[in-house]
Amino acid sequence: MKLLIKALTRFIAGIVLIGALLFLPAGSFFYPNAWLFMGLLFIPMAAVGTVILVKAPSLLEKRLNAKEGQKTQRAVVAASGLLFVLGFIVAGLDFRFGWSDMQTWTVAAASAVLLISYALYAEVMRENAYLSRTVEVQEGQRVIDRGLYGIVRHPMYAVTVWLFLSIPLVLGSFWSLLCFLPYVGIIAVRAVNEEKVLKEGLEGYEEYMWRVRYRLLPFIW
């Protein structure tokens, strides 16, 4: 029950915060793209969260723990949060002042990418029971090299790149996309730093790095 209350509190706070960041700059609740985005984000989130709460509550507890211990990772989290706040505010202002003229098919394609990314996000969580929002080596942790982890070393980060870059397009804002683009560099820094931690503290991780050569994008990086 304590975990359920904590999860619901975070969920409702997320809805309120993102709603405020979008609708206040937009100057209106009649912002269809914002409602579309919130539906695409929070409905699957509620469904996945419910399944995890029932089947893997320990994983949900790890995902709710966002307190980073490492200085580099704290900087990464802070920079990411700043980008998202800026990106949502710019999207709302874009709607209010009509800066972007985005085609419906672009919004539809971005919505599909967001949903596919979220499905892959759920698959990564299914494959890796050690998945935490903080960079750490857990007691009894072992290297996961099956499924998506057999393609790239950081499938969660790879998926979030596609997910987060689709958000401004769902919101109908090219200017917001410019705010979200630096996230690619930020997540690259996080991945490199995480590998350093895992290589030093997780047995077999260095060998895994030799077997799976790419971090985020096959044949590229």
pLDDT in tens, 42-69: 998 888 888 888 877 777 776 666 565 5
Look at residue 139 in the predicted model and tell me its pLDDT.
Answer: 60
Q: What tokens appear for 48 in the block?
A: 């996945």
Q: What tokens appear for 131 in the block?
A: 């998945």
Q: Higher model confidence: residue 93 or residue 77?
A: 93
Q: In the chain, what are the domains?
A: 2-211 (1.20.120.1630)
Give the chain's mean pLDDT: 87
Contact 126, 51 (CB under 8 A): no
Distance CA 115, CA 81 (A): 21
pLDDT in tens, 116-161: 998 998 888 888 766 655 555 656 678 888 888 989 999 999 999 9
- What is the pTM assigned to this prediction? 0.86
Contact 106, 167 (CB under 8 A): no
Contact 138, 130 (CB under 8 A): yes
